[in-house]
Amino acid sequence: MSTPAITTYAKDLTGWQRWQVDYRYGALYMFPPPDVGASINALRAQYDPKSQAFCDAHISLTVPFSGPVTPSNWAALQARLKRACFDVTYGPVHRWPGGVGVVLLVEPADTIRQMIDTLEGADGLKESPPRRPDFTPHMTIAEFVSADESAALFEVLSATVSGGRFRCTRLSYAVPDEDFHFTERACLHLTDGSTG
């Protein structure tokens, strides 16, 4: 498992909104493999370029870290992550509750939620504000859209996007730069299942 090669975090937060500042020290994500990511990123770029400019297609796994990630924080995460690789299915297209936003639901939701609970109990995350209890694992296609745009987009995509499957073998620690664009800085590898 790699250790975060973090030397600096964004220092100039000019123009960042309050919710963006909360993500200054990054969080853990599941990024789909390049072939899957490319197709979802193309949808995001077409229907919500603002969101795509922030981060490639992903499944959010943790709340943001409360401060810089230390070697101790990373070791705590490594110690907690004792899970074998598993298959993730994505789709169908789903209109977010409340009518704003369009996402791809992901399964197995219970497995992902259990992993989230485990990770968020580690140092550096347990001090962060808690996640909403009704969190549903998903990959966002469009979030910075109106209710009317969401409805129209849902009609188009539910008829054309069928979903798919990929193997989750690693979790990514990603951090935003000054332009609030997230990149992977380190990863936690899941086991291959043969060693428990």
What digits encode the pLDDT tens for the residues 134-170? Answer: 789 999 999 999 999 999 999 999 999 989 999 999 9
Using one digit for the tens of pLDDT, what is the confidence trace for 162-192? Answer: 899 999 999 999 999 999 999 999 999 998 8
Confidence of residue 25 (pLDDT cuts 50, 70, 90): very high
Contacts for 147 with CB less than 8 Å, ≥ 6 apart: 99, 100
pLDDT for the residue numbered 58: 98
Q: Are 183 and 175 in contact (CB under 8 A)?
A: yes
Q: What's the pTM value of the predicted model, to 2 decimals?
A: 0.91
The percent of residues in the chain predicted with pLDDT above 70, rounded, is: 94
Nearest of 75, 59, 73, 66 to residue 130 by alpha carbon: 66
* Domain limits, the chain: 18-189
Class of domain 18-189: alpha beta
